[in-house]
Amino acid sequence: MPTFYPGPSKVYPQVAEYAAEAVRSGIVSLNHRSAGFMDIVRQAVELLHQKLAIPADYHIAFVSSATECWEIVAQSLTGSTSLHPHSGAFGQKWMEYAHRIRPMVRPDLADTLCLVQNETSNGTQLNRETLAQFRRDFTGLIAVDAVSSMAGITLDWTLADVWFASVQKCFGLPAGLAVLVYSPDALTRAQALAENDHYNSLLFIHDNFSRFQTPYTPNGLGIYCLMRVLEQLPPIAEVDARTRSRAAEWYRFLEQEVPQLPFTLLIDEPARRSDTVIAVEGTSEAIKAVKAAANAAGITLGNGYGAWKDTTFRIANFPAISDGEIDELKAFLRQYRS
């Protein structure tokens, strides 16, 4: 049954085989300090560098979720407080978590800028030019939540010091694992703050990962499946081109090909529209009806989220979704009458 839910989302079909492989071969029972397990961590890290074109001097660690990364940025990388310009529910939540750890006292003292590259709740994104502008204007550390875009589009890694994503969006994997990427400057900041109070303090994580180990028993199954999915992926430039052309086609389709639908795109300005999550707006009755009809036709549309919960549905444009599934949803929308 095709699902266009933007997280948890469709997993690559090959994941079933990779997971079976991990169980059959005993990988999931390997001690996480063993050479065999460390080798899988090492390969996954190398493949991330290679397939996502992450600069060689940026470090990579695995943690449990993007929410955990929000807290790691606050506890281990923020000295005074953090700024959170945002436009949606995930940016808002990040700010609330961060300010509980490093309360906002004076915005002019903030040493960390926190941005959500792709706001999954409303289908907006910060494009390269906007990120470059933040990089020019802000002299402190920049951390970017790229949960619903990493592994779906090309990211210009040098425009921020910290990037993270959980794997249940564009990576096409089951939830429970997140990729944390951090620059030499981020590590320098962590060393200057010397925050060591938590099991997931960045310095402790870094120390472990420099030996391809983890502070606690990690999600070995998730790391193995990530490694296998990365092996099968084309270079990110190819994935990016496909994601962007599919997104352009989705926006064209929704604006031009289905005038009978009682919906409009939630985001008017094309420059702000996300390439990976498309938000469609209507009355709550119309949204409810189309989700139910899609469901009856065997297709899962993404619910709205946060302030847009009842008045939007969302279409994930993630790499694991096949052309056939997209055609199926388009055919459904073409024939749909409210």
Ligand X SMILES: *Cc1c(COP(=O)(O)O)cnc(C)c1O
Structure tokens at 309: 């919960």
Q: Is 65 in the site for ligand X (CB under 6 A)?
A: yes
CB of residue 317 to ligand X, shortest distance in Å: 13
CB of residue 241 to ligand X, shortest distance in Å: 23
Tell me which stretch binds ligand X (CB under 6 A): 39-47, 136-144, 145-153, 281-289.
145-153
Residue 327's CB: how many other CB atoms inside 10 A? 11
Residue 244's CB: how many other CB atoms inside 10 A? 16
Q: Is 166 in the site for ligand X (CB under 6 A)?
A: yes
Tell me which stretch binds ligand X (CB under 6 A): 72-80, 140-148, 243-251, 253-261.
140-148
CB of residue 93 to ligand X, shortest distance in Å: 7
CB of residue 318 to ligand X, shortest distance in Å: 11
Q: How many alpha carbons lie under 13 Å from residue 197 in its C-beta half-sphere?
A: 9
Which listed residue (67, 87, 130, 300) binds ligand X by CB under 6 A?
67
Instruction: Name, in order, each residue with C-beta under 8 angstroms of 17's C-beta and a sequence gap of 6 or more.
Output: none
Structure tokens at 39: 């080798």
Strands (E), 64-103: 82-83
Which listed residue (2, 3, 4, 7) binds ligand X by CB under 6 A?
7
N-terminal to C-terminal alpha carbon distance within the chain: 23
Strand-strand pairing, 277-281 and 312-316: antiparallel
Q: What are phi and psi of 249, to 5 degrees?
A: -65, -40
Binders of ligand X: how many residues, by CB under 6 A? 12
Rounded-to-integer distance, Cα 111 and Cα 143, Å: 11
Residues 172-201, interacting with ligand X (CB under 6 A): 178
Residues 76-95, interacting with ligand X (CB under 6 A): 90
Going by C-alpha positions, the residue among 232, 197, 227 that lies closest to residue 212 is 227
**Residue 120 or 214: which CB sits closer to ligand X?**
120
Measured N-to-C along each axis, helices 284-296 and 323-335 cross at an angle, to the nearest 10 degrees, of 120
**Residue 43 or 124: which CB sits closer to ligand X?**
124
Tell me which stretch binds ligand X (CB under 6 A): 33-41, 64-72, 107-115, 127-135.
64-72
CB of residue 68 to ligand X, shortest distance in Å: 7
CB of residue 19 to ligand X, shortest distance in Å: 19
**Residue 27 or 131: which CB sits closer to ligand X?**
131
Alpha-carbon Rg for the chain in angstroms: 20
Q: Is 74 in the site for ligand X (CB under 6 A)?
A: no
Instruction: Name, in order, each residue with C-beta under 8 angstroms of 277's C-beta and a sequence gap of 6 or more.
Output: 6, 118, 120, 123, 148, 302, 314, 315, 316, 317
User: Which residues here bind ligand X, judged by CB under 6 A?
Assistant: 7, 65-67, 90, 116, 120, 145, 147-148, 166, 178
